Amino acid sequence: MSTTTSDRTLAPKNDVAASPVTYKLPDEPLTKIKGGRSWSFFDFKELWSYRELLYFLTWRDLKVRYKQTILGVGWVVAQPLMMTLIFTVFLGLLARVPTGGVPYPLIAYSGLLPWMFVAGGISGCSVSLLANSNLITKVYFPRVLIPTAYIITRLLDFAISFLLFGGLLAIYRYGLHYPLTLSRSFLTLPMLMVLMTMFTLSLGILLSCMNVKYRDLSIGLPLFIQLWMFVSPVIYPAWVVPEKWRTLYFLNPLAGIIEGFRSALLGQPLNMFGLAVSTVATIVLFFFSALIFRRIEKSFADVI
């Protein structure tokens, strides 16, 4: 584009008189801003009015994530497959973890499927607000949309890995003739997914807002996640744990969720105690996180 002097037209002076108003003022203020800290819960009506932004944030995260990568969405498939392969070689074939006759790859994959969602979800959420600090310091919108958008992108990854697991099951059932049957516990799968998503989201939003204030979190979290994987039934079935310790074991809310997935997918009976613990923990955690998040959300722009 050329910038010749002829392009610089002299604009007429603006009319300084106040212009006629075409907008009719409402009686009640649309927005009320009040100082001072207070406890509150998510404003679902407001969140609903921001649904399009949630869509765009999710869409952006998805678009950007695999730009300039060669494998692209292939990574979503590669990750659980590689992990399953490694664990199968070392734990299934070499260390011979007892599986009760179930092929080890199925044990590992059915545990890794929810685990990778939870682990990826919380670690991604924990840095999500920091990664979007440019938005937080410049525009208003309900901040919880940021970690939520991230969780939604992870759900899409989960769906892809889930389909892959379907393929794996089909290979075992029809290719290797391993006797797999669907039991009634399969029907709990949608509920398990809701539970897993809510648990991850609750923990994710809590960590995301804590991380804004205390950066220790981003250092400590990877270690914590690693430890958590070993105390959860990810790469071994829960019944490997001795009977007398099992109640204590299932106090870990993730144990109930992961073992629940395994039972539902492999047609085994569900551990009701574990599921009850997970459900209660998720509900409590959700309310707790929401209150904390809402309370410190307003000061994000000042401390981020």
Binding interface with another protein (CB under 8 A) = 1, 3, 7-23, 25-26, 29-36, 52-53, 55-56, 59-60, 63-64, 67-68, 134-141, 213-216, 298-299, 301-303
Instruction: Please say whether the beta carbons of 235 and 241 come within 8 A.
Output: no
Shortest spacing between CB 1 and another protein, in angstroms: 6
| Least spacing, CB of residue 214 vs another protein, in Å | 6
Question: Would you call 11 helix, strand, or coil by DSSP?
Answer: coil
Question: Smallest distance, Å, CB 141 to another protein?
Answer: 7
With respect to another protein, which residue has the nearer C-beta, 29 or 101?
29
The owner of tokens 């949630």 is 54
By beta-carbon proximity to another protein, the closer residue of 137 and 247 is: 137
Displacement of CA 281 from its chain's centroid (Å): 16
Q: Which residue, 5 or 181, is less far from another protein as judged by CB?
A: 5
In the complex, the smallest distance separating the C-beta of residue 53 from another protein, rounded to whole angstroms, is 5
- Tell the smallest beta-carbon distance from residue 219 to another protein (Å): 9
Question: Which CB sits closer to another protein, 135 or 283?
Answer: 135
Smallest CA-to-CA distance from 73 within 151, 159, 142, 1 is with: 159
Residue 79 burial (C-beta neighbours within 10 Å; 0-12, 13-18, 19+): middle
Smallest gap, in angstroms, from Cβ of residue 218 to another protein?
10
293-299's contacts with Cβ under 8 Å and 24+ in sequence apart are 293/143, 293/144, 293/205, 293/206, 293/208, 293/209, 294/39, 294/40, 294/41, 294/42, 295/37, 295/38, 295/39, 295/40, 296/209, 296/212, 296/213, 297/143, 297/144, 297/209, 298/37
Cα–Cα distance for residue pair 26/29, rounded to 1 Å: 7
Q: How far is the CB of 136 from another protein (least distance, A)?
A: 8
Judged by CB, which is closer to another protein: 45, or 177?
45
Q: Least Å distance between CB 43 and another protein?
A: 13
Choice between 75 and 172, CB closer to another protein? 75
> Nearer Cβ to another protein, position 52 or 243?
52
Residues 6+ away with beta carbon under 8 Å from 241:
233, 249
The nearest distance, CB 217 to another protein, in angstroms, is 10
Q: CA separation (Å) from 78 to 71, 75, 83, 160?
A: 9, 5, 8, 11
Which C-beta is closer to another protein: that of 59 or that of 287? 59
32 half-sphere exposure, CB direction, 13 A CA radius? 5
Amino acid letter for position 247:
T
The residue among 50 and 273 lying less far from another protein, judged by its C-beta, is 50
DSSP codes of every residue in 213-248: H-THHHHHHHHHHHHHHHTTTSSS-GGGS-HHHHHH
